Amino acid sequence: MRDQALAYASEHQQLHIEQLMELLCIPSVSTLPEHKPAVRRAAEWVRNYLQNIGMSRVELIETTGHPAVYAEWLGADPSAPTVLIYGHYDVQPTDPDNEWRTSPFSPTVIGDDLYARGAADDKGPFFALLAAVACYLQSAGRIPVNIKVLAEGEEEVTSTNLPLIVAERATQLACDTILIADHPMATPEVGILMYGVRGNLYTELEVRTLPHDLHSGTFGGVAPNAFNVICQIIATLTDQHGKIAVPGFYDRVRELSTDERALINGGLANEAVVLALTGASALIGEAEYSVAERMSVRPTLDVHGIRGGFIGAGSKTVIPAVAVAKISMRTVPDQDSHDLFALLDAHIQSVTPPSAHAMLRALDSSQPTIINYQHLAVQLAEEAYRLTFGATPLYMRGGGSLPILAEFQQQLRQNGHPVPIVMIGLGLPDDNIHAPNEKLHLPIFYRGITMIIRYFALLGTELAASERLHPD
C-alpha cells in the first residue's frame, strides 16, 4: 500500500504542482474584506479537491467569518489510528506590492522554487498533506490510517471561529494524533519537529495624568506628563538585559530537564547566527540561558509602540494627558495568561505615582502549549523525516504562538490526555512568508509528500495498537 502510494507520488509530481498552482491563484487574503469571496473560493477548491480524491462527509462549514472545511476517510483497519490534519488556505496581504518580482497570485516557477503568496504559508505544505492522502486513495484505494481534515480560512486573522468549531465538533474531530505542516525546516535536509509554542498576552497600558493636554510653558514643572510617567513604569518592567522584573512573573515557568535542554541547544540557533539574522549589534536576554532557550522556552516582554502626545514635525510643546503603550509578553509552560495579567497589573499599580492613573487592558491572549516530544507519534515523524531526507530532524519549541493548539489540547482528549500534535516543517527559513516574494522550494514539496506517505504507513503499523498512543 505504501509503495503504491510512493510510486504514485513519484509519477504525479507535475499533477500535484499544477493542482497547488490552482489553489495559489486564488487571492484568499482573509484580512481584506474585498477578498472575502476569494477566501470562500479557496475553501470550495479544498472541498472539491477532497471530494474528488475520495474523502467522505466533505463539508463547507459556515461561520460568521470565512468558511472552514471538514472531510474524513475512516476506512482503515479497525485497529488503525486516526489522524486529524489541520491546515489553512487563507494568506497574508501582499503589500508592499512593488517589491514582488512576480505577481503574487500568478504562481511562477523559477528554477526549483515556486513563487506565490501562500506558497509556503500554508497552501503548499497543507496541500502536501492532502496530496499524500490522495496518493494512497488514488493508487491503493485505501490509507493505513483513518484521516480527518479540518482546514480554515482565518488563520491569519487569529482563527476567530475555529475554537467554536472545535468545541462544537469535538466528537466528530476525535482522533489519535493531529498533524500540522506550517513551519520551515532548518535546512533543505534537516527537518524541524516543533513540540510546543509560546503563549501570548497582549495588553494596552493607558496612563492618564490630566483631563486634557496642557502647555509645557505654562505648566511645565508642576503638571504630570503621561509620557514621562509611562516611560518610568515601562522601565520597571524589565531589567537592562530584558529579564522581566515583575514580581512573581517567573514563578510558574517550568524548568527544562537536562535532556530537553540538550535537545533545544542541539539546534542551529546560537549568538553568531542570530546576530547575523537580526542585524543587531548585541543581543539581549537572560545570561543564564542560551540564545536558543531565550528564543523559545523563556518568556519575553516587548513594547510595540506608544500612542498619544505629539509626534508630528516640528516642536509642539504639549504636556500629554494620555499615553497608551502596547505591551505584549510571550509566555511559556506553565504560565497562565490570566495570572500574569493580574501580576502585571498589580506591579504597574504599585509603581504608578499618585499624579497618574494607570489602566491595563488585555487585548488578546493565548496559552502556551507543549507536546510530549517523546510520544511515539512524534518519534515516528522523526523516523519519516530521516527515511526521506536522510538526516535526523531537530526538535524545537516555537517562539511564536499558535492559539489553536491550546484549543485542540483542551477539546480533543483521549483518556484524559490531550491528543499529541505533530508539527512538521516543510518550508525553508528564507521562504519570505508574510513578505514579498514568498516561495516554496519544490524539491522539499515533493519529498514532503513522500515523507507523509511514509509517516502514515509508520503510524498504521507501529501505532496500530491504540494504547501505545497515550503515554502522556
Using CB under 8 A, which residues numbered 405 to 444 contact a copy of itself?
434
Task: Please state whether the peptide bond connecting residue 224 to the residue before it is cis, i.e. omega within 30 degrees of 0.
Answer: no
Pick one of 134, 145, 150, 234: the residue that binds a copy of itself (CB under 8 A). Answer: 234
Pick one of 105, 169, 219, 413: the residue that binds a copy of itself (CB under 8 A). Answer: 219
Nearest distance, CB of residue 266 and a copy of itself, angstroms: 18
State the cell numbers at 327.
505591551
Nearest distance, CB of residue 119 and a copy of itself, angstroms: 19
Stretch that binds a copy of itself, among 20-28, 37-45, 349-357, 444-452 (CB under 8 A): 349-357
**Per-residue interface string for the shown chain with a copy of itself, residues 189-218, x marking contact by CB under 8 A:** ---------x-x-x------xxxx-xxxxx
Nearest distance, CB of residue 407 and a copy of itself, angstroms: 18
Nearest distance, CB of residue 208 and a copy of itself, angstroms: 9
Cell numbers 503515554: residue = 471
- Crossing angle between the packed helical segments 13-24 and 442-462, to the nearest 10 degrees: 110
Determine the Cα–Cα distance for residues 93 and 104; give it in Å rounded to an integer. 10
How many residues sit in the footprint of a copy of itself (CB under 8 A)? 82
Beta carbon nearer to a copy of itself, 225 or 411: 225
Pick one of 112, 302, 334, 430: the residue that binds a copy of itself (CB under 8 A). Answer: 302
Determine the Cα–Cα distance for residues 108 and 85; give it in Å rounded to an integer. 27
Stretch that binds a copy of itself, among 165-173, 232-240, 340-348, 371-379 (CB under 8 A): 232-240
- Closest by CA to 330, choosing from 291, 286, 368, 278, is 368
**Per-residue interface string for the shown chain with a copy of itself, residues 88-127, x marking contact by CB under 8 A:** ----------------------------------------
Cβ-contact 84, 177 below 8 angstroms: yes
Pick one of 399, 417, 461, 472: the residue that binds a copy of itself (CB under 8 A). Answer: 399
Determine the Cα–Cα distance for residues 140 and 16; give it in Å rounded to an integer. 18
Q: In 113-250, where does DSSP find H-type helix?
A: 123-139, 162-168, 216-219, 226-235
**Per-residue interface string for the shown chain with a copy of itself, residues 247-286, x marking contact by CB under 8 A:** ---------------------------x--xxxxxxxxx-
Nearest distance, CB of residue 126 and a copy of itself, angstroms: 20
Cα-only R_g, the chain: 24
Determine the Cα–Cα distance for residues 405 and 247; give it in Å rounded to an integer. 28
Positions in 317-346 near a copy of itself (CB under 8 A): 317-320, 324-326, 328, 330
Pick one of 21, 46, 165, 306: the residue that binds a copy of itself (CB under 8 A). Answer: 306
Nearest distance, CB of residue 274 and a copy of itself, angstroms: 6
Beta carbon nearer to a copy of itself, 209 or 369: 209
Nearest distance, CB of residue 243 and a copy of itself, angstroms: 10
DSSP state at residue 249: T
Nearest distance, CB of residue 250 and a copy of itself, angstroms: 13
Beta carbon nearer to a copy of itself, 205 or 376: 205
Nearest distance, CB of residue 276 and a copy of itself, angstroms: 11
* Residue 264, H or E segment: helix 258-265
Sequence-distant (6+) residues with CB within 8 A of 340 are 201, 249, 329, 331
Cβ-contact 326, 305 below 8 angstroms: yes
Nearest distance, CB of residue 338 and a copy of itself, angstroms: 17
In angstroms, what CA-CA distances link 211 with 20, 149, 164, 226, 352? 57, 54, 41, 11, 17
Q: What is the torsional sign of CA 41, 151, 400, 65?
A: positive
